[in-house]
Amino acid sequence: MSHPSLAEPVRRRARLSAAAKRRAGSGGEPILAARNLVKSYRKGAIEVPVLKGVDLDVGRGEFLSIVGQSGSGKSTLLHLLGTLDAPDAGEIRFEDRRIDNLPSRARDAVRNQHVGMIFQFYHLLPELTTLENVLAPRMIADGVLRYWRRRREHVADAKEVLELVGLSHRLEHKPRELSGGEMQRAAIARSLVARPTLLLADEPTGNLDQKIGREILALLQSLNESRNLTIVMVTHDQALARETDRIVRLAEGRVEQNAECGMRNAE
Ligand code: ADP
Ligand code: MG
């Protein structure tokens, strides 16, 4: 009698994926490990503590969600993990290499080569087409001369990731000619073009309606599985968080371990 809910395909895939990851022995070294991260912002003479000792391990191939109230420091934590900002104290290791205290060029290199990032408001460049937006990180990484020499290869790579996210029919569209879901797909393609091993997603469905949000989650899940892409996703949406392998909650400047269970723990 009962019809499978819209959520079913996503849920089933998440379950399979969690089981597959366990079989693969995901208990190995974490790909990303944060220890005792402390971060404050200064507002004039006042120091506002945001992170007060965050510990977090992310397993290779894991799809982790971070939840927590607005202002609890989720974006701050993601920025630190992605080397966009440095902690005041503590340590971050990526692939067993310390990344929080690298000189800025080396930090940029880690980020450009290994880490993809997507955001709630996509951050696409409005004057560029979808294809050009996806090519932009390559242009920046290569510099103009080298980029032009390898342009054919870059374009082929960009088209490949755009196909992967289902946007082959929107290559020449500007962001304003795309729907919200399409803009996020374009941003995901852009984040993938350097073939990162880690994707950091800050409220990637926060500006999308529920149906499109689920589609974006399904896309992230398929990338997590097909490319063994490790994903850390900040989200407000408990229902989406529950579809991931594990949920951690940020509160009072710390991570509450095992505060809630994602699919991996629910089995
Ligand atoms: P969340 O993403 O969980 O909503 P954020 O990490 O964006 O939280 O922010 C955590 C706290 O830090 C908030 O109180 C916010 O106002 C403050 N904050 C964030 N970024 C800055 C900044 N660049 N300068 C000063 N305060 C900031
Ligand atoms: Mg935020």
Kindly report the protein residue whose alpha carbon is nearest to atom 24 of ligand 1.
41
58-69, pLDDT tens digit by residue?
999 999 999 999
Q: Is residue 253 lining ligand 1, measured as CB closer than 6 Å?
A: no
Calculate how far, in angstroms, residue 107's C-alpha sits from the geometric centre of ligand 2: 22
Please give the Cα distance from 101 to 212 (Å, whole number): 38
What's the one-letter identity of residue 238? Q
Q: How many alpha carbons fall within 13 Å on the CB side of residue 84?
A: 11
Kindly report the protein residue whose alpha carbon is nearest to atom 7 of ligand 1.
75
Query: What is the DSSP secondary-structure string of 217-235?
Result: HHHHHHHHHHS--EEEEE-
Lowest mean pLDDT among 8-22, 79-93, 231-245: 8-22
The mean pLDDT of 135-154, rounded to a whole number, is 92
197-239, pLDDT tens digit by residue?
999 999 999 999 999 999 999 999 999 999 999 999 999 899 9
- Does pLDDT of 2 surpass 90? no
Cβ contact 130:165 at 8 Å:
no
Calculate how far, in angstroms, residue 36's C-alpha sits from the geometric centre of ligand 1: 18
pTM, to two decimals: 0.89
Calculate how far, in angstroms, residue 42's C-alpha sits from the geometric centre of ligand 1: 11
For residue 6, the model assigns a pLDDT of 38
- CATH superfamily of the domain spanning 9-21+60-83+103-265: P-loop containing nucleotide triphosphate hydrolases (3.40.50.300)
State the burial class of residue 151 (Cβ atoms within 10 Å of its Cβ: 0-12, 13-18, 19+). Answer: middle
Query: What is the DSSP secondary-structure string of 107-176?
Result: HHHHHHHHEEEEETT----TTS-HHHHHHHHHHHHH-HHHHHHTHHHHHHHHHHHHHHTT-GGGTT--GG
Element (H, E) at 51: strand 46-59
Cβ contact 34:80 at 8 Å:
yes
For residue 115, the model assigns a pLDDT of 96
Question: For the chain, what are the domain ranges?
Answer: 9-21+60-83+103-265
Please give the Cα distance from 247 to 230 (Å, whole number): 14
Q: Is residue 75 lining ligand 1, measured as CB closer than 6 Å?
A: yes
Q: Is residue 50 lining ligand 1, measured as CB closer than 6 Å?
A: yes
